[in-house]
Structures are given as structure tokens and as C-alpha cells.
Amino acid sequence: MDHFHYLDRVLQAEEVPVPEIAAAVGTPFYLYSTATLRRHFTAFDQAFAGLDHLTCFAVKSCSNIAVLRLFAQLGGGADIVSGGELYRALTAGVDPARIVYSGVGKTKPEIRYALESGILMFNLESEQELVAVQECAAELKLTARVSFRVNPDVDPQTHAYISTGLAKNKFGIAIAEAGRVYRAARDLANIEIVGVSCHIGSQLTQVSPFIDTVAKLKDFLARLAGDGIEIKYLDIGGGLGIRYHQEEPPLPAEYGAAIREALGDLACTLILEPGRVIVGNAGILVTKVLFTKSGQKKFIVVDAGMNDLARPSLYDAHHGIIPVVKGEAGTEVADVVGPICETGDFLARGQEVPVAVPGELLAVQSAGAYGFTMSSNYNSRPRVAEVLVNGREFHLIRRRETYEDLIRGEAIPDFLK
């Protein structure tokens, strides 16, 4: 459920008409609903009520500090994959003891920053990374709490680019090799083994890959216990999908019940890393029609492009497109394209979309996850504004970039002056 609906044919975000926001901030812009964010986070977290667990929001999916602050106030932690995401999480008020640091390519400055910040644990992905963390911890005279991300070779049945749990993917340590790595870590002076981590992919629409993964992890934990290695935290990652088009993913309650049954009496604190399932349908991208073109096919040219929302071009992903103000013209099959100088610049191809004329507003649905966070300045386009609605109020939580922002940090050397 989300809190975007029509009232007298005008799209509302909670209790605010979307055209009112567009008039105030211009287009394009990302628009999020506080009520939806709160509802989705709570529904996910409560699916694990009664289990010792920690819900760490995947910052990469939607990293605005206002959104992170909301989840922190609801008791959430953060799953981060960079020093920049750590900075965002701390700035937003996330308790560092509720932050887990994932990712295959942590640098030593990032590792030191996380150690000094007192994060809960690192999810390590290679032996060489373990060595780097040990060296940084020794330099700082600190102990690094670690888990290792194991790769269970489970097919998540999702897009190849967001599949992370197969043996051919770059993520994690093969589960057959992980025991040896844990034994090596046990002997390092500045390392404390606290967990096991596993994340098999994103936008999963079935429970069975998660269940298969938990079964393999339970067997692995038993082998670790046989080596005298006790685990406090089991991090099963995120990945639960949402409905973009015709998908029918399980609800959080169904997912939670299945995980609960699969875990049995396992005595670990469960760490969950939801992202898309919480924010995906809590946000839209609002864009304005610039022109229309007809020939062999119909094109609707809008002021948002692939630099603003990369998912259609990158994954051939489907996003529903609806009118901000419903007219009488109905729908048509068309391509909705942006101003970027690439044929791959589209928000929809051959899709049933509203018949639109220049000046009208369209809303791209399910844009809350991997929308703004994947945006860029390609074609020297300033990144768009972000707006958060709360009941009858809306708040600018990121101003639109200016042309001056585009060249901030650049310089012309003296020999060119």
C-alpha cells in the first residue's frame, strides 16, 4: 500500500496535491511519502516480532538523510557499502552500534573511519580484506568485529545484474571455503568474529531462495560451532521484491513467517537489510512533458532522463507512468523518453501510458528505490530535487542542483589561462 491517490482527478501525495509541489519546486523531482515509509518499515520490522533481530535499512537504495533519520527514529539501523554512506547514516542520527558495513571494496581510510565510529560489524568478503581490517585495527589499537559474507550458490531468480548469491558472482566467499577463512580470522589479535552474513540478490519475488539459503547457513553455523566458533549475529541480507508491474512478491509477513520457520531454534540475533521493499513504492518521480513526436512510433519527450532514473535503461525495468491530472484522452502505446543524447534514454518503451500534451505532468511510479541514488550529472544535467510529504505539508529535503554545482571542485590550470 502507498499513500498516492487521486482526489477529483488530481494526484495527491498523502494530503498534498502533486501539482502544488511541482509549482513550488519545479520539475523533475522525486517525491516521497512519510506515511508510506513509516508503514512499510513498521510492517517489515513487525514481521519478525518476537525474534531477536535488527532491521538495518540498505542505504544504497535511498540515501537522503531525512529518510535515514525517519528509520532511525523507528529503531532501525543501517546497512552501508561506503564511507560516504557511513557519513550519511551518522549525520542522520543512526546509532553506530546498529550499522553494518558490507561491500567488496572497502578502502583503508573507509575501514579506519568505520572502526573509529564504533560500528556494529564489518561484513568481509575476502581474505585480503580481512588482512586490511586487521592492519587498520592494529594501527588504531582497536578490535574489529567481523562477519564474513558467504556465497551459498543459490539462484535468486532475479535480474542478472542484481543477483549476488551465485558462485559466478563477485560477492562473498564460497561457502565451502569459508570455514578455513573463519579459522584464520580466529587467530588474529585485533579481530573478533561475531557473525555470518549472506545476501543473495535483489528484487526476489519468491520465498524459496531465502529458505534454501537459510538451510545452508544453518549447516554452516553447525560446522563453525564444531570448530569452537560461536556466532552472535546471522545477517541474511535483504532482497525482498516489490510490485513494479505484474510481479507478485510475498508480503513481509509471509516472508517473516517463512524465515522464522526455517531458522527454528537457532540462537542468533537476526540482522535484516531491507531496502527496496520499504522505499520502492514510497516514492515517485514527477516529470513534465516537453514535446510529442509521431512517426513509426509515438514519442513523449519529458524533462526527466536516464541520468535521473537509470533503472529502465540499465535493467529494462518497468515503471508505471500515470497522469498527475487525469484528463479525458485515455491512454496510448508510446515511448516516454528524456533529453539525454542517447537512444537508450527512456523511461518507458512500447508501454501503455497516458495520452499527454506539452506542459502536462506525469508521475513515474515505484521510483523510491535506486532512483535518486543512481542518478548522475550525465550531459551536465543538474540532479533533481527531493521532496518529502508529511500529511498536509511538504518539505524540500534536497534542493535542485545549479549549474554552479556542476563545476564546483573543478579548476582551470594556470597554463590554460
Tell me the pLDDT tens digit for each residue of 398-416.
999 999 999 999 999 999 9
Domains detected in the chain: 4-32+280-407 (2.40.37.10), 103-272 (3.20.20.10)
CB 236 within 8 A of CB 259: yes
pLDDT of residue 103: 93
- DSSP strand pairing (331-337 vs 99-101): unpaired
Helix (H, G, I), strand (E, B) or coil at 354: strand
Least confident of 182-191, 210-219, 273-282: 210-219
pLDDT of residue 157: 54
Confidence class for position 101, pLDDT limits 50, 70, 90: very high
Q: pLDDT tens digits, residue range 339-390?
A: 999 999 999 999 999 999 999 999 999 999 999 999 999 999 999 999 999 9
pLDDT of residue 164: 45
Cite the active site residues.
Answer: 341
Confidence class for position 155, pLDDT limits 50, 70, 90: low
Task: Determine how many CB atoms are found less than 10 A away from the CB of residue 299.
Answer: 15
Least confident of 4-8, 39-43, 51-55, 207-211: 207-211
Q: Is the pLDDT of residue 274 over 90?
A: yes
pLDDT of residue 206: 83
CB 387 within 8 A of CB 286: no
* Sign of CA pseudo-dihedral 397, 399, 400, 404: negative
Name, in order, each residue with C-beta under 8 angstroms of 374's C-beta and a sequence gap of 6 or more.
Answer: 309, 310, 311, 314
Q: Which residue has the cell 482526489?
A: 7
In whole angstroms, give the CA distance from residue 298 to residue 329: 15
Grid coordinates representing 413 are 590550470
